[in-house]
């Protein structure tokens, strides 16, 4: 009986500890609603920058489109897009690619006001490449797979 009780306590402790592990995401804000922000994870690839799945975070503070954030969180609701509350939020220094005058965040802001992107229902960035003085960005609607390419001069 005592062994069973100890095993049960040990199981409960491990379950609580794992449920409260902090996760971290570094990504760009692509939409804002009050103190909520839609953040897409930034990842490097051999062809440029690719972006992960979008997540709506309750930040507890204002954010701006194009901000590069480091968000720590514990749990996400498994919806699409995922949703969660940020434990901590840090605004990071904008990322510049060698030779570019604009940061990645600047290009996100500029792309979001282009007609091709504005026509998408809740646009989400898929990828971004800087080459020969111009940025090629790929966008898609939140709930669709049809992609739109937008080229922006640096």
pLDDT at 46: 86
- Tokens 């490449």 map to which residue? 129
pLDDT at 21: 82
Rounded Cα distance, 65 and 70, in Å: 14
How do residues 60-118 score in pLDDT, each as one tens digit? 889 999 999 999 998 999 999 999 999 999 999 998 988 899 999 999 999 999 999 99
CATH class of residue range 20-153? mainly beta
CB under 8 Å to 84, separation ≥6 — which residues? 55, 56, 57, 58, 73, 74, 75, 76, 77
How do residues 21-32 score in pLDDT, each as one tens digit? 899 999 999 999
- Mean per-residue pLDDT, 6-13: 42
pLDDT at 98: 86
């Amino acid at each position: 009986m005592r062994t069973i009780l100890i095993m049960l306590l040990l199981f409960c402790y491990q379950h609580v500890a794992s449920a409260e592990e902090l996760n971290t995401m570094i990504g760009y804000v692509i939409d804002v609603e009050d103190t909520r922000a839609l953040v897409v994870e930034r990842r490097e690839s051999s062809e440029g920058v690719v972006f992960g799945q979008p997540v709506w975070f309750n930040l507890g503070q204002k954010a701006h489109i194009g901000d590069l954030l480091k968000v720590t969180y514990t749990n996400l609701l498994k919806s699409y897009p995922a949703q969660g509350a940020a434990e901590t939020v840090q605004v990071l220094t904008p990322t510049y690619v060698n030779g570019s005058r604009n940061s990645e965040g600047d290009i996100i802001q500029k792309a979001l006001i282009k007609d091709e992107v504005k026509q998408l229902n809740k646009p989400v960035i898929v990828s971004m490449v800087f080459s020969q003085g111009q940025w090629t960005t790929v966008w898609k609607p939140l709930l669709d797979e049809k992609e739109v390419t937008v080229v922006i001069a640096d």
